Amino acid sequence: MGDLMPAKAVSGADILIQCLVNQGVDTVFAYPGGASMPIHQALTRFQDKLRTILPRHEQGGGFMAEGYARSTGRVGVCIATSGPGATNFVTCLADAKMDSIPIIAITGQVGTHVIGTDAFQETPIVEVSRPITKHHYLVQRTEDIPRVMKEAFHIATSGRPGPVIVDLPKDLQNRTIVPEYDPPMNLPGYAPDRRATRDQLEQIFAMVRQSKRPILYAGGGIISANAAPHLRAFAEKTGIPVALTVHGLGAFPGEHYLCLQMLGMHGTIYANYAINEADLLLAFGVRFDDRVTGKVSEFAKHGKIVHIDIDPSEINKIKTAHLPICGDVGQALRDLNGMIDENPKRIPQVSQFSGWMEQIEKWRDEEPLKFADRDDAIMPQHAISRLWEIVRDRGALSETIVTTGVGQHQMWAAQYWHFESPRTWFTSGGLGSMGFGLPAALGAQAAHPLKTCIDIDGDGSFLMNIQELATAYTEKLPVKVLLLNNQHLGMVMQWEDRFYESNRAHTYLGAGFEHEPYPDFVTIAKGFKCAGDNVQRKEDLDDALKEMLDSKGPYVLNVLTPYQEHVLPMIPGGMTVKDIIKA
């Protein structure tokens, strides 16, 4: 036998892309530049294994990676050059950190010999990103690329998911070595695998048995842990009602009799009343965000709190728990359900909570979500409700993904679209990033070509990444945009009305000297070769919505809505249920 062929030396850029393929990545969102050109050249050599989608702005690419990650549960990967390309990822990284989204942002960097000299398009992006990433790497040697990428994927996806940035100098991309693709991984300080003990779970059951008015407060951690079916089983076995955070929507079926919909600042009145009166709060996969709690000292003060979360830094951070449990909420729910099956006497008979459910039903009947509909205009809540009803009547809810920008339309979508399953709803919750909706929908569409992906947006948010219509057309991603156009920054305007005597401080987005709404979004969409239409009359809405849904390519439906409408109910920031604004 002859000698074995010697291993072939390959470039750092090729090693990087091979590492992505080895991790099961099938799509990357990448915008090229000087310091990342070798990476893009390598991508062309792997195009049979890896789809490269070209966004029209790096921020768009980062949000696409988030939409991909949230719709699949896998890592979203985005790539940019150094300097301004890297800094355009900052908002995306902060967004992913706040909302616990597993993305890996790969940035080109100037050559190692000029780092620190203020070279052309140099920024110290690792230093810039340190507080807004779960972890960060400035690669020092080409030999380190396989280890760094293996660690980056592990860190992004294990424990509480989050963003990792990998900064790769250009000379290391070009250098050729013989790689070792599966190096040992040694992260001695990183131990994300935590599990609730049986004793802790027995304590939960003891607290449930002592309770008369329990409530489940469930958040995005349920979806991250793929625990939605286990949450439903636990709620149905125990008869405990469920209130959801904005990121928890879809973790429990919206039409279920135990579902109280969203709680918090713009949550349902009955969900907020229930939280306020509960004697036991089972807080699963949540972080007690200020948009939920309002005045922390008054939030859920009548009840004992059980808090389960994978991230130890969240335990007792905002609200002290009577039973704090650092562990995987999915595993905890599976174990809880198994223990009930073992011994049904661990939980009380559902009749123990019958008086509580009667009270909740009374609140639900007396204080439903409502708005003053009009015949002479399309109310934004009506537009969302009709779209949801049409999709529901077609039996397509589970095959429809909804994203939003940030503002009034975001909250109306959360209120009036009843999500039945997880990973069908993505919004920028913690950071509140306008411009999120369209690129996030594109990322989800890339991952799910057969699903309908709808961006419910506002004119302010839509303008912030409108250039991604070019990506929609060129990459054949048939995203639908329901554009609720009120010519204003609606949520800021609402606060002006409520707290600043309606003094308009640069919240009007139109051109006041013109009679027509400004800008002309349908003409802009058609300039990108996307279809679109305007609708202003209520009687035309249903046909317009159906045309949008049935269109084969990307579509922008510009719905002209009154600007005077407010998102209600509303608990003002830092206030309590007693301060809730109903009208």
User: Active site residue: 97, 134, 150, 170, which one?
Assistant: 170
User: Active site residue: 18, 29, 58, 288, which one?
Assistant: 58
**170 part of the active site:** yes
Q: What is the DSSP string of 77-107?
A: EEEE-STHHHHTTHHHHHHHHHHT--EEEEE
**153 part of the active site:** no
d(CA 149, CA 26): 15
> Is 489 in contact with 462 (CB distance < 8 Å)?
no
**212 part of the active site:** no
Task: Write out the E strands in 187-235.
Answer: 214-218
**58 part of the active site:** yes
User: Active site residue: 23, 37, 46, 121, which one?
Assistant: 121
For the chain, how are helix, strand and coil distributed in percent, rounded to 5? 45, 15, 40
Q: How many Cα atoms occupy the beta-carbon half-sphere of 394 within 13 Å?
A: 16
Find how far residue 376's CA is from the centre of its chain.
35
> Is 86 in contact with 437 (CB distance < 8 Å)?
no
DSSP 7: P
User: Active site residue: 49, 120, 301, 476, which one?
Assistant: 120
**359 part of the active site:** no
Could you identify the residue written with the tokens 């608990």? 571
User: Active site residue: 265, 357, 464, 491, which one?
Assistant: 491
d(CA 196, CA 187): 23
Could you identify the residue written with the tokens 């693709």? 181
> How far is residue 534 from each of residues 407, 442, 515, 522, 557, measured CA to CA in Å?
21, 22, 15, 7, 6
Q: Name the residues annotated as catalytic.
A: 58, 120-121, 170, 491
